[in-house]
Amino acid sequence: MGGYGDVKLLRDDGKRLDGRAIDEMRPVTIEAGVLPAADGSAMVTHGLNVAVAAVYGPMEAHPRKIQRQDRAVIDVRYNMAPFSTGDRIRPGFNRRSREISKVTAESLESVVLVERYPRSKIRVEIEILAAEAGTRCAGITAASVALADAGIPMRDMIVGVASGKIEDTVVLDLDKAEDNYGQADLPVGILPNTGEIAFLQMDGDLSIEEYNLAMEYNHKAAKEIHEIMVDALKRRYEGGEN
Amino acid sequence: MVELVPSLLRQELDRLAADGQRIDGRGQFDGREVHLEVDCLYNAEGSAKVVWGDTIIYAGVKFEIRTPWPDRPTQGSLMCGAELRPVAHRKYEPGPPSPESIELGRVVDRGIRESGCIDMDELCIVPGEKVWGVMIDIHVLSDGGNIFDAAGLAAIAALRTAVVPAERFDVGEDHTLKVNGTPIMASFKRAGGRFVYDPSEEEELGGDERIHITLGDEGHLHSLQKGLKGVFTPNEFAEILAVAEQKCSELREMVAEKEGN
C-alpha cells in the first residue's frame, strides 16, 4: 500500500469519494466470446478496468519438458497494454506481471479438470487494456468466463474480487485512489458454488476482525459477479448460434 | 484456423479465382465490414477500437516529456509500435517482438510520420529542454486477417482524438493534439493468382505476396511495403492503386464521422 495516511478518502456523509457505500462494488459488465480467433474469450469491465481473456487449447504442450503425464498444464500470461496506465509501460514482462501470471495459473489449475487432458497445454492470455485498481481480479474473472466459453470442464468458475481498508474502515472493491492511499488490499478468487478460495493475496495492515469483515464483503460481491458471469455465458449460447 | 492444408487451400483459392470468386463470397475488391470506436479506454490519452471482420485491434496514445535531440532542439517525437501477442492467435508465441510485429509497427509508423500530419515543432514545450514524445501502441487482440489496415485505422483514429495531458505534467492546459491529415492504409494480397483487397485469414494462409499502400488526404503516397515472396507487374500495381484511393477515402470519412461525435 502507498502509505500516504493523510489523504481523505471518506466523505463526511460516510460515503466514498465516488459516492459508493462502504460495501458497494463498482459496476461490472461481462461479455463472452468477444475474440473470433480464440477458442474461448471474454471481456470484463469492472469500474474503469478493462480486461480481456483468450483461451487456446487444449493443445500439444511445447516444449516437452513442461508436459505432465497425468494432466494438462495451464499457461497463463497476464499482460498490461502499454497504454493501460497513467504513464506508459514498456511492453514485455516485468516482475509484477510474472508473479500475477504464476498465481493466477495455479488458481485456475485448482478448478479446471486438468486430469482430463494429460500431456497437453491450455493457454490463457489475459490482456489489461485499462487499469484502475483491481486488474488481477478482473483478469481472473475474465479467464474463468473464457475457459467456460472454450468448453473446458471446470469444477467451478473463479470470481476475482477485492476488499481493503481506507481511513481505518473496511471497504469493498478499492478504486485507484483508495488503492494508492489506502491501508490494505485483499484480492481473492472465490469459487461461488462452494465458497472455497483459489486465489489469495494481501498487502497492508488488517486486524483479524478487519480480515473477517473484508472476506465477508468479498463473498457477497462474488455472488453478485457470478450472476453476471453466468448471464454472459447464457447470452453467448442463447438461440442456438455457435 | 490451423495450418494443416495450405496446399489444398491454395488449390481451392486458384479454383475460385478462375470463376472470379473469393473463399468468403466477396468480390475481388470488396472489403469486410468495419466498425470503429474512439475514446474507449480510460488511461490512454487517445484510443480507438477497430473491429474489421474477425480482426480486433486497439490502439492507444500516450505522451511523455523528454529532452529533444541536440540537433533538433524544437522537435518532439512520434513513435508507433505494434505487439502481436499470443492473445491474438494460436500461431503467435510469447517472447521478444517478432519480425512480423516490428514490420507492422514500422509500416503504420511510416504512413503516419511521412504524411506530415504531426508537426514535430508543435510538440515543443521549452526549446532545447522539454518536448512531447507521442507514442502510439497497437494491440492486436484477434487476428482474423488483414491486421495492417485495421492497425493503421486504429492508430490514426486514436491519434486524431488524442488530448495532450499538459496538466498532469504541469506544463499548461490540456488541449487536443493537432493532427493535419488522416493517412489511411489499404492492403492487397495475391490469392488465387490475382490481387484481392482486404485478405481474410484463409487468403493470407494460402496466398502469396502482399502490398500495403498508405495514402494521405490529397491522394499522395506516404508509405509502401511489399511483404512475403512474390513479384508483381506495374499494371497490377496501377489497378490496386486505383482501388486503394477509393477505399482510403471511405475509411477517412468514417474517421471524420467518429471525431464529430
* Per-residue DSSP letter, B62: E
Please state the rounded mean pLDDT for residues B146-172: 97
At B5, the pLDDT band (50, 70, 90 cuts) reads: low
Q: Tell which residue, B203, B181, B61, B39, has the closest CA to residue B132.
A: B61
Q: Tell which residue, B123, B126, B143, has the closest CA to residue B135.
A: B123
**Cα A23 to Cα A11: distance, rounded to the nearest angstrom:** 15
Q: Does residue A93 have a pLDDT over 90?
A: no
**Cα B153 to Cα B57: distance, rounded to the nearest angstrom:** 9
Task: Judge whether A87 is closer than 8 Å to chain B, CB to CB.
Answer: yes
Three cell numbers written together for B250: 471511405
pLDDT of residue A239: 65
**Cα A49 to Cα B238: distance, rounded to the nearest angstrom:** 46
**Cα B151 to Cα B49: distance, rounded to the nearest angstrom:** 9
Close Cβ partners of A207 (under 8 Å, ≥ 6 residues apart) = none
Q: Do B83 and A52 touch (CB under 8 A)?
A: no
Please state the rounded mean pLDDT for residues B240-255: 97
Confidence (pTM): 0.92
Phi, psi of A175 (to 5 degrees): -90, -170
pLDDT of residue A7: 80
Q: Which of A129, A132, A149 should one mutate to test binding to chain B, selecting the residue with the greatest count of B CBs within 10 A? A: A129
Q: DSSP string covering A54-101, please?
A: EEEEEEE-SSGGG-BTTB-EEEEEEEE-TTSSSSPPPSS--HHHHHHH
Largest CA distance in chain A: 60
pLDDT of residue A4: 52
Amino acid at B97: P
Q: Residue A166: helix, strand or coil by DSSP?
A: strand
How does pLDDT run across B78-94, given as a tens digit for each residue? Answer: 999 999 999 999 999 98
ipTM score of complex: 0.88
Task: Judge whether B163 is closer than 8 Å to chain A, CB to CB.
Answer: no
Of the candidates B43, B47, B87, the beta carbon closest to that of A131 is on B43
Average pLDDT, chain B: 95
Residue ranges of the domains in chain B?
A: 6-14+27-260
How does pLDDT run across B183-236, given as a tens digit for each residue? Answer: 999 999 999 999 999 999 999 999 999 999 999 999 999 999 999 999 999 999
If phi over 0 gives left and psi between -120 and 50 gives alpha, with beta otherwise, what is residue A69? alpha
Q: Does residue A135 have a pLDDT over 60?
A: yes
CB A226 within 8 A of CB A154: no
pLDDT of residue A241: 52
- CB < 8 Å to A86, chain B: 43, 168
Q: DSSP string covering B207-223, please?
A: ---EEEEEE-TTS-EEE
pLDDT of residue B7: 86
Provide the 10 A C-beta neighbour count for residue A220.
14
User: Residue A188 to residues A79, A92, A178, B24, B209: CA-CA distances in angstroms?
Assistant: 19, 25, 17, 45, 49
At B4, the pLDDT band (50, 70, 90 cuts) reads: low
- CB < 8 Å to B86, chain A: 56, 77, 123, 125
User: Residue A138 to residues A90, A144, A155, B253: CA-CA distances in angstroms?
Assistant: 22, 10, 20, 36
CATH of the domain spanning B6-14+27-260: 3.30.230.70
pLDDT of residue B86: 96
Q: Do A81 and B94 touch (CB under 8 A)?
A: no
User: Residue A129 to residues B118, B180, B248: CA-CA distances in angstroms?
Assistant: 25, 28, 28
* Per-residue DSSP letter, B123: G
**Cα A146 to Cα B140: distance, rounded to the nearest angstrom:** 18
Q: Does residue B157 have a pLDDT over 70?
A: yes
Provide the 10 A C-beta neighbour count for residue B130.
16
- CB < 8 Å to A176, chain B: none
Amino acid at B103: E
Higher pLDDT, A201 or A92: A201
pLDDT of residue B260: 79
Average pLDDT, chain A: 94
Q: How many residues does chain B have?
A: 261
Strand B130-142 and strand B55-66: the pairing is antiparallel
Q: Does residue A120 have a pLDDT over 80?
A: yes
Three cell numbers written together for B82: 505494434
Q: Does residue A5 have a pLDDT over 80?
A: no
Task: Judge whether B66 is closer than 8 Å to chain A, CB to CB.
Answer: no
Provide the 10 A C-beta neighbour count for residue B253.
12
Amino acid at B2: V
The domains found in chain A, sorted by start residue, are: 28-240 (3.30.230.70)
Please state the rounded mean pLDDT for residues A123-132: 97
Close Cβ partners of B204 (under 8 Å, ≥ 6 residues apart) = B145, B146, B189, B210
CB A96 within 8 A of CB A78: no
